[in-house]
Amino acid sequence: MKRSDRLTAEGVLFTDQYQLTMAQLYYRMGLHERRAQFDYFFRSYPDYGSHRAGYCIFAGLEWLLDWMQEAHFRDRDIEHLRNQTGRTGRPLFDEGFLAWLRANGTFDGITMRAIPEGRVVHPNVPLAVVQGPLATAQILETPLLNHLNYPTLIATKAARIRDAGRGRLLLEFGLRRAQERGASAGARAALIGGADFTSNVGISHVLGYPPKGTHAHSMVEVFMALGEGELGAFRAYAEVYPDDCLLLVDTINTLESGIPNAIRVFEELRRKGHKPVGIRLDSGDLAHLSIQAARMLDDAGFPDTIIVLSNQLDELVIWQIITQIENEAPRYGVDPDRLIHRLVYGVGTRLITSQGASALDGVYKLTAVEDSGEWVPAIKISETPEKTLNPGNKLVWRLYDRRGKATADLLGLEDEDPRTMERILLHHPTEHTTYRILQRDEISEIEPLHVDLLDRGRPVYTLPSIEEIRQQRRADLKRLDPGVKRLINPHVYHVSLTERLWNLKQELIAATREERPRSRAPASVG
């Protein structure tokens, strides 16, 4: 796509058609400027088939806000809409609506609060709460979901991969297999969730991280085709990058050619006073080869060189590699812990596409609408009880137990504050008879999770740097029960409702079934 077309494709029209047809309907019915509230939440953790997540890492907010600030209906966008016709050939959008859109089609009327990026988050918890004029809050649905679902999916995968790698250096290598321009958001999310660096040069520069990478097989093949062989290629690399020499050793034969040639070049570098960095293994039995590589490098006097592993890695493959090293390394006189500590993981495809679970099921649901200056809670009932909405204007609290570990996320109504309660009833979101009661002294901390981001379009929050976001992620993961972090069959973390929210939900379900009028929420529209 040409750059000029990107402004059209990915500006304010980066939304679904039905958002615009609904916005026009609200306009025609005089409802377009009524304030409405929508919750963004996901329904279930990513399920990778043989394993699944027990937590997610929230990401994507900053770029959503960037998009909201830049997107507005330009004359050109209005012209595009003006040319749309319905089945009879008449214009689909009328001039009154288009004039309103041109004058009011920005996100300046949106108030938003959200859980900050990098935080551990769970299903059915409102991660972002949007209040604004019904028409623009509706148009925002698709771009909001687009900007939050994918980054949260990738940050989560990165956190799992980092955990499997026992916190060793993790490099994001996925640009070539990413979903075209989605690569940028994917790399940022990976950096938030667990990757230390990315090979993607452009996004590294934008985010202020040095990009990482050394060389590919093709470099060795060039030298081979020109008759200089693998050793010639390695020597050329060492000559150009004497202090950054990391060699890919599997182009011909890892153990018989690649590692011996690398060691020869490392010895030459050492004689010239340089410290070689390490090797990269990109094929074969990575556990076995890394043991043999460690042995050969140790024997040659290079015990501090690193060993980068790549090739279709993910959390399970890394877990398997480490397990195999623990079993197999002692047999070759290699200390498994030392070897595990010199490993670096380069993870491409399976991180940036979240292989096994290629989408997060995040949704954006109407929870309340203004009527005569008051919020009327809205609900969507489903035949699957888990999919029935938690209605109204909700706040989210995280409860920590006496050990300081997070024990539950509690959704309550906006005028409730569990910090003032002597005993807290945590109601299961769908099971009538399932609840638990916590006494105040069983809880070491009650933390509100939402922060205010936008007040009618005006930013009221200083966005954290990626370093700060990562610190938050590390802190949250430390306060998460190890069982919840298990790669396979994790413990189910509790997300609960306060008693009042539970009661409101039941009342609304009954009213909907009987088509009774709704009760009003206590708070007036802000």
Which parts of 303-342 interact with its own copies (CB under 8 A)?
none
Residue 217 binds to its own copies (criterion: CB under 8 A): yes
- Judged by beta carbon, residue 13 or residue 438, the one nearer its own copies is 13
Q: Which of positions 129-148 make contact with its own copies (CB under 8 A)? A: 134, 138, 141-142, 145-147
Interface residue with its own copies, options 115, 159, 183, 191 (CB under 8 A): 183
Q: How far is CA 298 from CA 20, 263, 291, 292, in A?
A: 65, 10, 10, 10
The pair of three-digit structure tokens given for residue 472, joined into one six-digit string: 């938050």
Sole binder of its own copies in the list 106, 108, 252, 435 (CB under 8 A) = 252
Residues in CB range of 39: below 8 A, 6 or more apart = 126, 128, 129, 130, 364, 365, 367, 389, 390, 394
Query: In whole angstroms, what is the distance from residue 520 CA to residue 131 CA?
Result: 17
Q: Which of 112, 376, 410, 484 binds its own copies (CB under 8 A)?
A: 376
What residues between 161 and 180 interact with its own copies by CB under 8 A? 173, 175-180
Q: Which of 43, 47, 95, 201 binds its own copies (CB under 8 A)?
A: 201
CB of 338 to its own copies, least distance (A): 22
Residues whose CB is less than 8 angstroms from the CB of residue 284 and which lie 6 or more positions away in sequence, other chains included: 250, 254
Q: Which of 225, 271, 373, 431 binds its own copies (CB under 8 A)?
A: 225
* Residue 236 binds its own copies (CB under 8 A): yes
- Pick the binder of its own copies from 377, 418, 429, 490 (CB under 8 A): 377
Q: What distance in Å separates the CA atoms of residue 209 and residue 192, rounded to the nearest whole number?
A: 12
**Binding to its own copies (CB under 8 A): which residues in 267-296?**
277, 283-284
Nearer to its own copies, 347 or 424 (CB): 347
Tokens of 496: 């609960």
Q: Among residue numbers 35 through 74, which ones bind its own copies (CB under 8 A)?
A: 36, 38, 49, 60, 63, 66, 70
Is residue 380 a contact point for its own copies (CB under 8 A)? yes
Tell me: does residue 475 bind its own copies (CB under 8 A). no
SS3 353: coil
**Joined tokens for residue 526:** 């802000």
Q: Which is nearer to its own copies, 224 or 421 (CB)?
A: 224
**Beta carbon nearer to its own copies, 121 or 178:** 178
- Tokens of residue 391, six digits: 């209605």
464 binds its own copies per the rule CB under 8 A: no
Contact letters for its own copies, residues 92-111 (x by CB under 8 A): x-------------------
The separation between the first and the last C-alpha atoms of the chain, rounded to the nearest angstrom, is 42
Q: How far is the CB of 28 from its own copies (least distance, A)?
A: 5
Burial class (CB in 10 A: 0-12, 13-18, 19+), 144: buried
- Minimal distance in Å, beta carbon 442 to its own copies? 38
Task: For strands 458-459 and 494-497, give the pairing.
Answer: unpaired
Is 354 among the residues that bind its own copies (CB under 8 A)? yes
Restricting to residues 415-454, which ones interact with its own copies according to CB under 8 A?
none
Rounded CA separation 472/468 (Å): 6
Contact by Cβ (8 Å): 376, 518 = yes
Characterize the bridge pairing of strands 451-455 and 362-371.
unpaired
Least distance in angstroms from the C-beta of 323 to its own copies: 23
Q: Based on CB atoms, which residue is closest to its own copies, 200 or 407?
A: 200
Strand order through the sheet with 458-459? 374-377, 362-371, 35-42, 128-133, 111-114, 451-455, 458-459
Between 182 and 448, CB nearer to its own copies: 182
For residue 479, the SS3 value is coil
Q: Near its own copies by CB under 8 A, which window of 101-109, 347-355, 426-434, 443-451?
A: 347-355
Q: Is residue 11 near its own copies by the rule CB under 8 A?
A: yes
Q: Among 75, 87, 272, 441, which residue sits at the site for its own copies (rule: CB under 8 A)? A: 87
3-state SS record for 48-103:
CCCCECCCEECCCHHHHHHHHHHCCCCHHHHHHHHCCECCCCCECCCHHHHHHHHH
245 vs 410, beta carbon nearer its own copies: 245
Residue closer to its own copies by CB (options 378, 399) is 378
Cα–Cα distance between 307 and 407 in angstroms, integer?
Answer: 39
- Residue from 151, 193, 258, 412 touching its own copies (CB under 8 A): that is 151
Ranges within 502-521 binding its own copies (CB under 8 A) = 512, 515, 517-518
**If binding is defined by CB under 8 A, does position 378 make contact with its own copies?**
yes
Q: Burial code of 190-203, b = ≥16 C-beta within 10 A, e = fewer?
A: bbbbbbbbbbbeeb
95, 243, 299, 335: which one contacts its own copies (CB under 8 A)? 243
CB nearer its own copies, residue 70 or residue 417: 70
Which region among 107-115, 201-209, 458-466, 469-477 touches its own copies (by CB under 8 A)? 201-209
The one segment of 107-115, 258-266, 365-373, 411-419 that binds its own copies by CB under 8 A: 365-373
Q: Is 245 left (phi over 0), alpha (psi -120 to 50) or beta?
A: beta
From candidates 72, 106, 109, 224, binder to its own copies by CB under 8 A? 224
501 near its own copies (CB under 8 A): no
Distances from the Cα of 206 to the Cα of 1, 155, 185, 211, 351, angstroms? 22, 18, 12, 11, 21
Determine the Cα–Cα distance for residues 226 and 190; give it in Å rounded to an integer.
39
Please, which residue, 204 or 472, has the CB nearer to its own copies?
204
